[in-house]
Amino acid sequence: MTPPDALSRAFAAGDTATVLAEALHMEGATSVLDIGCGRGALSRSLADRGFATRGVEPGEAAIRAARETAPDLTFDAAVAEKLPYADESFDAAIFVNSLHHVPVAAMEAALREAARVTVSGGTVFVVEPLAEGPQFETVRPIDDETEVRHAAAVAVADALRASLFTLRGNVVYERRERFADLDAFLDRVVAVDPARAALAREKRAEVAALFERNAVQEGGAHVLVQPLRIYWLRRP
């Protein structure tokens, strides 16, 4: 599958929101379920681009933040493996950096639920960080996600072998995330998973050394690169 120019530029820029928007346009999708939406930033971005977006997230604090910052959107509190929606409710569903946060034993069920709530012929996008790269190595003392990231990749492969989806394509690209300083980076790490807070304090000196080594100075900001893989899945 050869992507059009706009999608190619989005991959080159590491802009996941634009990658998804362009891919969703290519698929003719208008309604999108953001599974594991966190604080709703991606849901808001897609809604601003004209998609009817709904977010679902198990974290209570994240859901509250999403509802406060985007009161015009709907955010539901639920787990990915038990979605509170009728069959074929959405044109597309997306997991962005979220499948590996689902308990390993529930990843298969989460993908089945995504297929269930997506229309026949619809699309499921799974964007997952690889267990490599400067950002991964910097976070690793706080939370080594090697095993869960591998498990997410295995879950997608198993879903394809089970014919839950067909694979339209998969692409590895680099996200370049900017941070004002170490504190901003640690705030981001803990916001993703509040359970990391204690280790973030305990490992601060070690992480600070890694941050200094791995971050690239760019326009007054500290930039950390994280390779991502997007799976473009079609529901039969």
What φ, ψ does residue 19 adopt, rounded to 5°? Answer: -55, -50
Look at residue 2 and tell me whether its pLDDT is greater than 80.
no
- How many whole angstroms separate alpha carbon 34 and alpha carbon 25? 16
Q: Residue 167: which of 111, 114, 123 has the closest Cα? A: 123
Complete DSSP assignment for 12-60: HHT-HHHHHHHHHHHHT--EEEEET-TTSHHHHHHHHTT-EEEEEES-H
- How many whole angstroms separate alpha carbon 95 and alpha carbon 188? 19
Q: What structural domains does the chain harbor?
A: 5-176+227-234 (3.40.50.150)
The region of weakest confidence among 2-6, 185-189, 211-215, 222-226 is 2-6
Question: Whole-structure pTM over 0.85, yes or no?
Answer: yes
Residues 216-222 have a mean pLDDT of 95
